[in-house]
Each structure stands twice: as C-alpha cells, then as structure tokens.
Amino acid sequence: MTLRNPVDLFPKPPFPKQPQQAPGLAREMIPKPDHGETSYVGHGRLQGRKALVTGADSGIGRAAAIAYAREGADVVLNYLPEEEPDAQEVVKLIEAEGRKAICIPGDISSEAFCRELVGQAHVALGGLDIVTNVAGKQVSVDDIADISSEQFDATMKTNVYALFWICQAAVPLLPPGATIINTTSIQATKPSESLLDYATTKAAILAFTKALAKQVISKGIRVNAVAPGPIWTVLQPSGGQSQEKVEHFGEQSVFGRPGQPVELAPLYVLLASEESSYVTGEIYGITGGTG
C-alpha cells in the first residue's frame, strides 16, 4: 500500500462562489464532493444489517449510505423530494453492490412523516438495526435580529425535533445489538457567530445522544454521535455559509482544506458495527485538527 500525505488528498481552497437555493444538489458543486463513490472499499462488516439514513442523497449521509451498502447492509434513504436527482445516483451505487436501496423521500420537520418513515423503513427492510441521523438545516445569518422565528423553528424541528421523533419511534423496533448514530458538529462547542440557531441545535444533539445512550443500553442498543468540522457538502453553498466563506471553506483547518464526506464514512461504519461493542454515549470529532 502506498502512503499518501493527507494534506494533499483532496482539493484546497480557494473555491469558486457557487450559490444554490436550499437544499441544493451535490452534482452542481465545484469541485464535486467525494462521497466514496469510487474510493470506499467494503470488508463485509455490516453483512445482513438493515439501515435507515436521513440526508442520504448527498454529503455525510450519502457517504454513510454508500459505505453501509459496501459493507453488506440494505439501506433506506431519506431526503427531500427536490433532492431526487442526487438520491438516484446513490440508489444506483447501492444496487450495484447487490444491496437493497429503498427511497422514502419526505420532510423530517414533520412529526407525522418521521414516525411514518421509521415504520415504513422497518417494514421495507424486514427489520431495522442501524438508525443514522444526518439530515440537518443550516442557514448563515450574521445578526440575531435577522433570524426569523420561522427560521429558528424550522432549524429546531429539522435538527432536534426530528431526532427525537425518529428515535422515539425506532427504539421499540430495534433489537439488542442495534445502534443509533447521530450527527452533531464542532459548532456544539465552538459556535460560529453566524450560526446561532444551528449551533444551538448541535449542542442539543450532543446532550440528547449522551442521555439516550444511558436510557437504552439496558435494551442492548448503543447510541453515539459524530461531530464534524468543515466538511465539503452542499449544505455550505446553499445558504449554510456566505459565498465569501465558501471561497475559503476549510482553509482554517490544520490541513488547509475541508474534509470530504468519504473521510467520515469509516467512523459511521465503525459505530454501526460490533467492532464498537463497548462504545456508547460517545462523541467523535472529525474536525481537521481544530479540536
């Protein structure tokens, strides 16, 4: 195996300005993110497992879904209907591995949909033993006076309420040995001034993960979270950052570049697999050395 310098593995800024209307499409990003489409190699660590992934059309969710399939899992993909073009690319990659890819598009800011999503995933896969919550809403606003109640409410519902609704519906269906993997952020402990509502939700996810882990370990269910730093996903150019920040996104990391979604996939696989059997209530940072 030839070792490669991690600093030079992926593109570095400056990047072109590339505004998209939320939720955006990964296929329109420059450079395109690497979700592991050609690079992730599985080793059968999730053979026969049944996974639900939110935000599975692009970004970290897409990388996790691809990795799960290549490790032997069938996957239910959740995403917004307008993200269908990206989602269909993921479906083809999963089916190429001989695994099931079940699409259940819909808005997780709706309680009714969240509960239907879990139930439908359980039926479609004939069970459920991996729940991976990745989907999130992030809107950059510089001044608290400019954050509307509607935006604050939408961010809370998408990032926190949905997590609660999905986990509440899933726990009674999950067998011993199942895992829940949430997605918090470096913003939970090092919030940016322009991401006030988003950072608040990510701090809530951190606490939620630790509390739920204590509740459900008696059922044999483990709960952990991944806390990414600057990762090159469509969340950023579609309103998650200003276009000026998009140009220099990830520059502040010690690598001088943003992380790519594929660089998080192995951790999601580890937390889903029995290799992490003594791990629960933990928060794993992948922040490019920013802590």
The catalytic site residues sit at 198
Burial of 243 (0-12, 13-18, 19+ CB in 10 A): middle
Which structure tokens are listed for 149? 């109640």
62 torsion bin: left (phi>0), alpha (psi -120 to 50), beta (else): alpha
Contact 206, 225 (CB under 8 A): yes
HEC string for 226-262: EEECCECCCCHHHHHCCHHHHHCCCCCCCCCCCECHH
Stated as kind and residue range, the H or E segment containing 153 is helix 149-156
